[in-house]
Amino acid sequence: MRRTLRSQGGFTLLEVMISSAIGVVVLGVGLVVGMQMQRRALFEEQTMVAQVTGRAVKDLLTLDVQRAGMGMGNSPIQFSEGDQRFALMSWSKMDMSSAAAPFTADPSFSLPPAGTPYVDMASDVLQLYWGDPRTMLTLTGCSGGGDHVREAGQLCTPSNPSMALVPSGGPASTPVIVSNPTEGDLACHFQLTQIQDNPAPTTAKVTATPGHGAATTNTGLCATEGDTKWTQRGWTLMRTVSAAYRVNWAGGSPALEYLAPGAANWAVVSRDVERMQIRYAVIDLTQPNTAYRWFPTSLTGGTSIDQCTINGPTTCTVDVLAPIEAPVTNETDLRARLRQRVREVEITLIIRTPRSDRSVVDPATINVLDKDNFPQDGFKRRTYTLRVAPRNFVSAGLQAPAAGGT
C-alpha cells in the first residue's frame, strides 16, 4: 500500500514554487535578451541608413562642386552694381533668418536651438554657380566689320542660336553669364530678353542688359560696350545655373536643404545630416608648387575666407601677381582674391541615426560632450569628409603665370 501511494504522489508545493520561480527567471532573461537583440538590430539598421544617406549626399555635393565655374572658372561674376559673386562661395555659420546677400531673409530658417547640446553645431551655407553648356553660344564679331562682339545693347552670336535661351513661361528674361575664360579677371551677368536671328546666314544678335533681376550694372567692363576687351576672341554666353545647400534646425531638429537650379523654395534632402562644414585649399600663384593653405586651418579653429580681415585677430594674407594685380587695399578685395585662388574644397558632414536610443541616455550627462565632441543624446553618428577639386577652376579663370612671363 505504501509503495502504491508513493508511486501516485506528485510534486510538493515547495518544489512547484521553486520550479515556477526558476521558469520566471529564465523567461525574464529570455525576454530581456530578445528585447536587447531587437533594439540592437533596429539601431544597427538605422546606422546603415545613416551610412547610405552619407554616401548619397556626398555624391550629390561632389557633382555640383565639380560643375561650379563651368564657363567662367574662378573669375568673379559681376551680377549687378556692387554685387560681385564667385562660382563657389560659402558662409561660416550663417543665420539665414536675417537678410544677407545673395539671400533674402528667410523666417523659416533656424540655427541650432540655444540652451541645448547642439548650440555649437551651426553649419556653413554653400552657394554654387555654373553655366548650362547646352545653351552655350560663342560670341562673334558684329556686322559692319571688326571683332567687336557687343553693340547697341546687343551681343552678336553665330546664326541659329539655341532657343533654350528664349524666355518662356513666367520670367520676362533669361539670366546668362557672359565670360572670356582666357581673360580670367571678370565674368558679366546679363538678363537676356530677346533673340534676333539676322537674315544674313552668318550672325545673329541677342538683346541683353547687364545686371541681375531688377538690379543693373552701371560701371566697369560689364557696363561699358566700348571697352577694348569686347573685341577679343573667346567670349561665351551660357544660361546661369545655381544651387545652394544649408542645414536648417527649424523645429529643433536638423535637415539638409537644397535650393535646386531654377527652384524658388528650399527642399529637404535629408533629415539625418546634422552639420556641414566647408574648408578651402588656396594656392599661392607666385609659388604654385608650394603646399596649399587651408581656410580655416581646421574644423575647430582658424579663419574662414568670408571672415578674413586685413588687420586684427582674423588677419589673412594673399599673394599679389604684380604688375597684373594691385596691392590689396580692403577686405572685399582680399576675400575676392582668396576665392580666385581656391583649388580644392573639403566638405565635412556629420550624419546621425534617425532615432535616438533613449535607453542609454543619462539626463545628468546629456549636455556633456563625449570623446568625439558629440552630445551624449543616444544618437549614433558618422563623419564623412570629401575633398573635391573643381575641374573648371584649373581650366579657366585666374591662373599662375608662365615661367618668366605674366
Bridge partner residues of 361 (DSSP): none
Q: Who has greater pLDDT, 157 or 399?
A: 157
> What local confidence, expressed as pLDDT, does residue 79 receive?
95
> What local confidence, expressed as pLDDT, does residue 16 receive?
74
- Residue percentage of the chain with pLDDT more than 90: 41
Least confident of 91-105, 110-124, 233-247, 382-396: 382-396
**pLDDT at 124 > cutoff 90:** yes
- Identity (one letter) of the amino acid at 381? R
Q: pTM of the entire structure?
A: 0.85
Each residue of 343-367: pLDDT tens digit?
999 999 998 888 887 777 777 777 7
Give the DSSP H/E element, type plus range, for residue 244.
strand 236-248
Determine the distance from the C-alpha atom of residue 147 to the mean position of all C-alpha atoms in its chain, rounded to a whole number: 39
> What local confidence, expressed as pLDDT, does residue 46 receive?
64
Each residue of 326-340: pLDDT tens digit?
899 999 999 999 999
Mean pLDDT across 171-182: 85
**pLDDT at 30 > cutoff 60:** yes
Contact 344, 387 (CB under 8 A): yes
**pLDDT at 4 > cutoff 70:** no
Please say whether the dihedral angle defined by the alpha carbons of residues 144, 146, 152 and 158, taken in this order, is positive or negative: positive
Cell digits for 61?
555635393
Q: What's the mean per-residue pLDDT of the chain?
A: 84
Each residue of 214-242: pLDDT tens digit?
899 999 999 999 888 898 788 999 999 99
